[in-house]
Amino acid sequence: MGKKKIILASASPRRSELMKMAGYEFEVRVSHKEETYTGTAPEEIVKELSLLKAEDVADQTEMKDTVIIGADTIVSYEGNILGKPESKEDAFRMIQSFQGQKHQVYTGVAILSFDANGAKTVINEAVKTDVYVNPMTDEEIWAYIERDNVMDKAGAYGIQSGFAVHIAKIDGDYFNVVGLPVSFLYEALKGRI
């Protein structure tokens, strides 16, 4: 059996770093399709969006001996989805809402595996991690926002950045919070590449 080509359907530098850390050789192809969804629960939304990205890249690719991985991450607090902030004030509002509390990070992973004949197998799952944030003062929140690039991060923070000092604990996969549940991906790709 020949080794399958792996394509990461994501522009996220963090996901690329995690794929490299896990030992995968891959290329990046970014989906340019508008991100629309019909689901209302965070786990439904990330599954839809990760599949949309993977399918869009598959439409632009020769689909033989190839694995395409799409991913999408959402931060949720009390059922509200916290996307990427639109301004520093928006980032402050997000962080202030969940400081001292528990929130959830969901990453959807879609794996499209094409065999030598182009037959497709689909895995589409959502992985959840609970994140507990210590109480923060307004000054601590503003200091973090001014120090870190929060505008490209769901929930306005990166667990792998300076925000780490405010994390009390997590229940679940740390790398899921960074943007890709590496352990889930490894197990799902076993025997497929």
Residues serving a catalytic function are 72
Paired tokens of 88: 């520093």
Instruction: Give dist(CA 39, CA 48) in Å, integer.
Output: 8
Other residues' Cβ atoms within 10 Å of the Cβ of residue 164: 10
CB 4 within 8 A of CB 192: yes
Strand partners, 122: 112
The helix (run of H) or strand (run of E) holding residue 174 is helix 174-178
Instruction: Give dist(CA 160, CA 133) in Å, integer.
Output: 14
DSSP-assigned letters across all residues of 65-120: SEEEEEEEEEEEETTEEE-S-SSHHHHHHHHHHHTTSEEEEEEEEEEEEE-TT--E
Give, as one character, the DSSP assignment of residue 41.
S
